[in-house]
Amino acid sequence: MAQSSFSHIIIGGGTAGCVLAARLSEAPGTNVLLLEAGGRDWHPYIHMPVGFSKTTGSNLTWGYHTEPQVHAGNRRIPYAQGRVLGGGSSINAEVFTRGVPQDYDRWANDEGCPGWSFADVQPYFLRSEGNRSLADAWHGTDGPLGVSNVANPLPLTRAFIMACQQYGIPFNHDFNGPRQPGTGCYQLNVVDGRRCSAAKGYLDPARGRSNLTVLTGAHSQKLIVNGHKVSGVEYVRKGLAEAAYADVEVILTAGAIGSPKLLMLSGIGPANHLRDIGIEVRADVAQVGSNLSDHVNIDLVAELHDHGGLDKYKKPQWAAWAGLQYLINRTGPAASNVVEGGMFWYSGEDRSIPDLQFHFLPGAGAEDGVGNVSKGRSGITLNCYGLRPKARGAVRLSSGDPKAAPRIDPNFFGHPDDLATTVAGLKLCGEIIAQPALAEHVRRIVLPDDSLTTDAELSDFVRHHGRTSYHPVGTCRMGSDHNAVVDTELKLNGFDGIRVCDSSIFPSLIGSNTNAPTAMVAEKAADIILGREPICAVSTTSSGSTHRSKPTQVEL
């Protein structure tokens, strides 16, 4: 078995892995290895914003499905997870949102994660963000993750935003600013008509460094563990077994599915489960793989009178025209991320912050597993999900074979409040579609059938059509209690030489898409790993000016 040695080994080349590879290799004296099971981010669909609609069911993912969902029609639901350099940031819809301050204050104050309040993490959001359109206390302009406004929203997107306002929901030009509720166009991780993934923004500028080695097609098998010290990883590349050793640390960034999988393959996890699989137990860490939380999504699909959306570009002649436009000047329908418009709103009057998020797509059948319109017709899709689900699921191994897919059970609608919130969101979708600005385009509602009117009927529809929003978190939960998988410095409890630094450490879901928060975690982790002082917090005064202050030091 070939062996090599590095100061830091990063396992998983998704958003967090790319951020950490770039940040750690900036530091003198480091020698960093980044391992990614998938391939290079070469595919043109990755870099073309509209390509999102082609990637969620492609070989750029692991091809996972959930376990039969007991509370969701016993269905095995497609569960796209990126298997390519850049991970989710290379295949997602490029939507740039990060939640509200209350999400992170909940982590710090209610969920045992001091040092992770909004005041603590906001500087890392700002450091990661390279906004081309907004520059104030809420936005960074020099970061590697490029952010821009939708350059030229499609007419149907404009109609959706108008319909929301006709219903009474205010326009919001910035979902990441002082107020989240409202409707508008999302900001995107798109620069000059091209996706700005973590691989593009962070890793590409670092690729020429002599102290950074990036290996794709490297499938990690298990961690190398000696007692309570993790010293490296065994992996297979090009059919050959290899091992890499870390002089300082192994950093696990394989995501909410991959990180707990590798820990369990290495004998670190729920003891009874590992014994059942036939894996020697090194440490009984019951919460590894538990606490899985994800946004469960429901779609309303409508058929249009005309071909005003993106569906007409499925025809070869129109696809060729769109490709030519994009090739010449990176404009036209291929420059659309498909999910241009959206909304954050409330499922009831008693909510203090939005608990529903909506995405509008000027097309139908754009994502894997979503219903379509009649052949030859065009459509639109409006989807929504509850932002802070109460149900929790788990990731478990199906066997001790590293090549075997894990058992993924997000337990969709496992709490009755999650179903009620989603039904409320679906009703609101119907109200928005019925407003004049959109109603004039709509020929008929395809899903749900208009005969479904009662809460019981709509609940049944939601259970049988709900799907993932690609936001799994929490399976290596961070906290201060003895059950937490990692501590607030992201060290694996009970072990030396290893941290987990990705979305699996979220103690709970935040109220938005999860790519920007994952980049934030990795930015903060880089400073922790390198022993740097935390960045000064940024505050906004009532006048809108800013000041910076030293974060309060918390004894852990």
Active site (catalytic) residues: 471
Q: Which residues contact 109 (CB under 8 A, 6 or more apart)?
A: 117
Distance, in Å, from the CA atom of 117 to the CA atom of 50, rounded to the nearest integer, reads 35
Whether 310 contacts 332, CB under 8 Å: no
DSSP 352-403: SS--EEEEEESSSS-STT-----TT--EEEEEEEESS----EEEE-SSS-TT
Q: What number of other Cβ atoms are within 10 A of residue 391's Cβ?
A: 20
- The crossing angle, in degrees rounded to 10, of helices 101-110 and 118-128 is 130
In single-letter form, the type of residue at position 306 comes to D
| Under 8 Å between Cβ of 235 and 35 | yes
The encoded tokens of residue 507 equal 């103690």
Q: 233: burial class by Cβ within 10 Å (0-12, 13-18, 19+)?
A: buried
> What is the distance between the alpha carbons of residues 417 and 465, in angstroms, rounded to a whole number?
17
Q: How far is CA 113 from CA 120, 390, 489, 498, 523, in A?
A: 11, 19, 9, 19, 17
Q: How far apart are CA 150 and CA 528, in angstroms?
A: 35
Q: Which residues of 155-178 are buried (b: 16+ CB within 10 A; e: fewer)?
A: ebbebbbbbbbbbebeebebbbee
Count the Cβ atoms, other than its own, within 10 Å of residue 207. 12
Strands 467-468, 498-500: pairing is: unpaired
Q: Is 8 helix (H, G, I), strand (E, B) or coil?
A: strand
2-11/240-252 β-pairing:
parallel
